[in-house]
Amino acid sequence: MTNMKTVLKKLPVIGVMGSGREAHEKYAIPLGQWIARHGYHLLTGGGGGVMEAVARAFISVKPRAGLSIGIIPGRPGKSDYHPPAGYPNPYIELPVYTHLPDSGRKGTHPLSRNHINILSSDLLVFLPGGAGTHSELELARRYGKPHICFGTTSIKAAHHALSHEELFRLIPKLLPAG
């Protein structure tokens, strides 16, 4: 028997956070395609809006190395598990089902899947969004995760990108060495 050492290359995970209602396609589509073309995994909250638009763009790229990952919320008070309506969106290849129901204004609470979104991402890109997106940004700061705000300057962040070109130059610089 031959000793064979298999080395798996860990692909970086880029989390894209943004509105669950509005797709912001002018930001999300080029970003999803770029992430796929550069050999990264995509992580979102697995729902609609930005999450669906970026995942749809991501999986449209063939061939690609990464997966479209969605962290799926739970619903309180149910004895059997059923994700909320619209979860996961049809472009999620690896849904990670949780029992965690909190989101929006409760997005930093211990029962929010947002902690998993942030902690599982090597780098986060924040597109325009509401209370849930803001809570994810708060968690990124809390956990010291590198992040970029794109498409909005109303959020205070360590890094802002005002164009796709600027964003695509920043992402590799901010990804942790691995």
Beta strands (DSSP E) in 80-175 are: 94-97, 123-126, 147-150, 160-161
- Asked if residue 108 is part of any domain, the answer here is yes
Q: Is residue 1 part of a domain?
A: no
122 domain-assigned:
yes
Segment 106-127 shows an average pLDDT of: 96
Residue 39 maps to a domain: yes
CB neighbour list of residue 156: distance below 8 Å, 6 or more residues apart: none
State the Cα–Cα distance between residues 45 and 61, nearest whole angstrom.
20
List the domain range (segments joined by +) for residue 66.
13-174
Q: What integer pLDDT is reported at residue 158 of this predicted model?
A: 78
Higher local confidence (pLDDT), 152 or 63: 63
Name the H helices within 13-111.
Answer: 25-37, 50-59
Residue 4 lies in a domain: no
How much is the pTM? 0.93
Look at residue 57 and give its three-state secondary structure. helix
Q: The domain that contains 110 carries what CATH number?
A: 3.40.50.450
Does 6 reside within a domain?
Answer: no
Total count of domains within the chain? 1
What are the tens digits of pLDDT across the range 65-111?
A: 999 999 999 976 656 778 899 999 999 999 999 999 898 999 999 99
- What whole-number distance in Å separates Cα of residue 62 and Cα of residue 161? 27
pLDDT, tens digit (0-9, with 9 covering 90-100), for 3-18: 556 666 799 999 999 9
- 28-78 pLDDT, tens digit per residue, is 999 999 999 999 999 999 999 999 999 999 999 999 999 999 999 997 665
* Cα 38 to Cα 2, 164, 165, distances in angstroms: 34, 14, 14
